[in-house]
Amino acid sequence: MNTPKVVIVGRTNVGKSTIYNKLTEEQKSLVSEIPGTTRDVFETDCIWRGKVFRLVDTGGLDQSLKSDLDILVGKQTRKAIQESDIIIFVVDVQTGLQDEDRNLEKELRKFDKPIILIGNKADNKTLRASINDPSWHRWSLQQPFPVSAKRGTGTGDLLDMIFYKLAEINHPAVPIMDVIETRVSVIGRPNVGKSSLLNSAVGESRFIASDQEHTTREPNDIRITVDDRNYLLVDTAGIRRMSRVNASSKLEKEGVDRSIRAMKQSDVCLLVLDVSQVIHAQDKHLAGELESSGASVIIVANKWDLVEEKDPVTINKYEKYIRANLPMLDWAPILFTSAKTGKRTQEIFHLINKVVANRFTQLDNEEANSFLSQAIMKHKPSRGKGVSHPTIVKFRQVRVNPPVFELHLRQSHVQALNSSYLRFLENLLRQQYAFDGTPIRISVKGRKKSHVT
C-alpha cells in the first residue's frame, strides 16, 4: 500500500517526540527535557477520521553539533526527510525564533517538499498569541501554527492540515480498510443459515452448509479480497443456551467457547437471525453479548424468502419487530437477506466497510466542546443520587476503534449524574455524527475544576 509519509523535524528539544506520541496516541518515542533524547528514527501509522498516513519521528537536526553520534543522527534524519512526502517543521514558541531554526529552514527548503511550520509548547493563550511577534516574520516561512502537544491543543487542526496538504500534492491519506484486514465473525443460533450466508456473500461454497444443527463445530476462518480490500471471515459454531449444552458434549462446549472468543476479537460481527421464526431468548442473549463486546454489529435477518405474503410495508413491520426485541442493538443496521436466493447478500461487504469506517469517526477537542454546549442547551444534566446538581467540566473523545469518550464532572458530583444523561449524549452523538453500526462508550470521571469548557 502506497501510504503517504510525513516526517517531523526540528532542532533538539522542541518537542518533536511529544508531538509524535500525541498524534499517534502511542508512547513509542522517549520524551525528556534532555536535548538529543531521540537518536533513532521511529515511524508508525497515524489514523485520523478513518484514514491513515505514516508518521516519522526523527532526532534533532542541529548543525552546531559535530560529534560522531550527532552526525549519524543527522544522516538518518536527512534520509527520512528524503523519503517523506511532507515535512512538519517544529519550532519552540517559548524560546522564540532561533538562529538554528533559520539555518535548518534553509536546509529543509533544498529538499523541495511541502513544509508545515508548527510552533510547539503553546500551552496557554499568551504563548499562542506569541506567534504574532515580529520576529517570526524575519524569515521566508509563514508564522508557525500554535500547538501544545503536552495538552493536545491544536493537534486535531494539525492533522486536518496534514490531510489537506497530502491531498494538495495528490498523495492523500488512505482509507483504513485499505491498510488493515477486517475481521468479521458470523454469530447466531444453530441452523439460522450462517454458513449458507457466507457462501452466498463470497460467491462460492467455502463453508459446509447443512440443515442439520451443529454442522459447524468450531470457528472456521478464510481470507478473501473483495474490491481490493482484505477480510478474515469467521464462520462460528451455532450458539445455543449453555443450560441446553449437554455437560457431556465437550466438543460442542469447546466450539461455543471458541465462537465467543472469536466474537470478542472481531471488528464486525454479523448477528444472523432466522426471520421466518420468532426471536428466541437466545437471540436476545447473543445481542446482549455483542453489545458489550466492543465489536461493530450488523443484524442480518436471513431466510427472507420464507416470509410469505410480503407487501411494500412488510419489511418495515419486521424491522420494528426486531428493534422492539433487541433494543440493546438499536444502533446496528438491519439487512434482510436470503442465502438461498442470494437476495441482498452482496450488500454485506458494502455495509461492513461502512460500519468499520464509523469505528474511526473522530471528534477533536473543539468539536467535542461544541457538541457538549449544544447538548447542554437541549437538555441540562439531570440529577441522579444525592442533592448536588451535576456540573460538567469537560467532554472529549479519547480513542477510536471503537469510539470512547470521557465525561468529566466536578469531583464531588460524580455520583450525582443520572445515567439516563449518558444515553441522551449517546443518542445525540449518533444523530450528529457517523456512528451507525458501532458501539459508543462514555465513561464518567471526577475533576477538581468546576468550570464548563
Ordered by where they begin, the domains of the chain are 5-176 (3.40.50.300), 180-358 (3.40.50.300), 365-447 (3.30.300.20)
Query: What is the pLDDT at residue 387?
Result: 57
Q: Which residues of 31-63 are buried (b: 16+ CB within 10 A; e: fewer)?
A: beeeebbbeebbbbebbbbbbbbbbbbbbbbbe
Residues 234, 263 contacting (CB under 8 angstroms)? no
Q: Which residues of 124-161 are buried (b: 16+ CB within 10 A; e: fewer)?
A: eeebbebbeeeebeeeebebbbbbbbeeebbbbebbeb
| pTM score | 0.76
The one-letter amino acid at 430: R
Report DSSP state, residue 378.
H
Q: How far, in Å, CA of 62 to CA of 71, rounded?
A: 9
C-alpha cell at 198: 457466507
Residues 284, 325 contacting (CB under 8 angstroms)? yes
Specify the long-range contacts of residues 135-140, CB closer than 8 Å, at least 24 apart.
Answer: 135/96, 135/97, 136/97, 138/97, 138/102, 139/97, 139/101, 139/102, 139/105, 140/105, 140/109
**Residues 6 or more apart in contact with residue 106 via CB below 8 angstroms:** none
Peptide bond into 175 cis (omega under 30): no
Query: What is the pLDDT at residue 384?
Result: 63
Helical H segments across 294-418, by residue range = 314-325, 348-358, 365-378
- Edge-to-edge strands, sheet with 392-399: 392-399, 404-410, 441-447
Per-residue pLDDT of the chain (453 residues; tens, 9 = 90+): 589 999 999 988 899 889 998 888 753 333 334 344 343 578 888 888 888 999 998 877 766 656 566 667 678 888 889 999 999 999 999 999 998 999 899 989 999 999 999 999 999 999 989 888 888 888 888 889 999 988 888 888 999 999 999 999 999 999 888 888 899 999 988 888 888 888 888 776 554 444 444 444 444 678 888 888 889 888 876 665 544 545 445 544 555 667 777 788 899 999 999 999 999 999 999 999 999 889 999 999 999 999 988 898 999 999 999 999 999 999 999 999 999 998 999 899 999 999 999 999 989 888 999 999 999 999 988 766 655 677 888 899 988 889 999 998 876 556 678 888 999 999 999 999 999 999 999 998 876 544 433
Q: How far, in Å, CA of 310 to CA of 68, rounded?
A: 79
Handedness of CA 143, 367, 24, 298 (dihedral sign): negative
Residue of 15, 32, 11 lying closest to 77 (CA atoms): 11
Helical H segments across 213-303, by residue range = 250-264, 281-291
Residues 256, 404 contacting (CB under 8 angstroms)? no
Residue of 412, 383, 398 lying closest to 441 (CA atoms): 398
Residue 56 pairs in a beta bridge with 7, 43
DSSP assignment of 136-175:
GGSSSSPPPEE-BTTTTBTHHHHHHHHHHHHHHTT-PPEE
**Residues 6 or more apart in contact with residue 317 via CB below 8 angstroms:** none
Query: What is the pLDDT at residue 184?
Result: 93
Instruction: Output the CA–CA distances (angstroms, integers) from residue 103 to 12, 98, 163, 275, 413, in the order listed.
Output: 13, 9, 27, 70, 53
Query: What is the pLDDT at residue 138?
Result: 81
Q: How far, in Å, CA of 376 to CA of 421, rounded?
A: 10
C-alpha cell at 313: 410495508
Q: How far, in Å, CA of 397 to CA of 365, rounded?
A: 7
Residue of 361, 356, 351 lying closest to 429 (CA atoms): 361
The one-letter amino acid at 221: D
Q: How far, in Å, CA of 351 to CA of 323, rounded?
A: 18
Query: What is the pLDDT at residue 331?
Result: 97
Residue 221 pairs in a beta bridge with 234
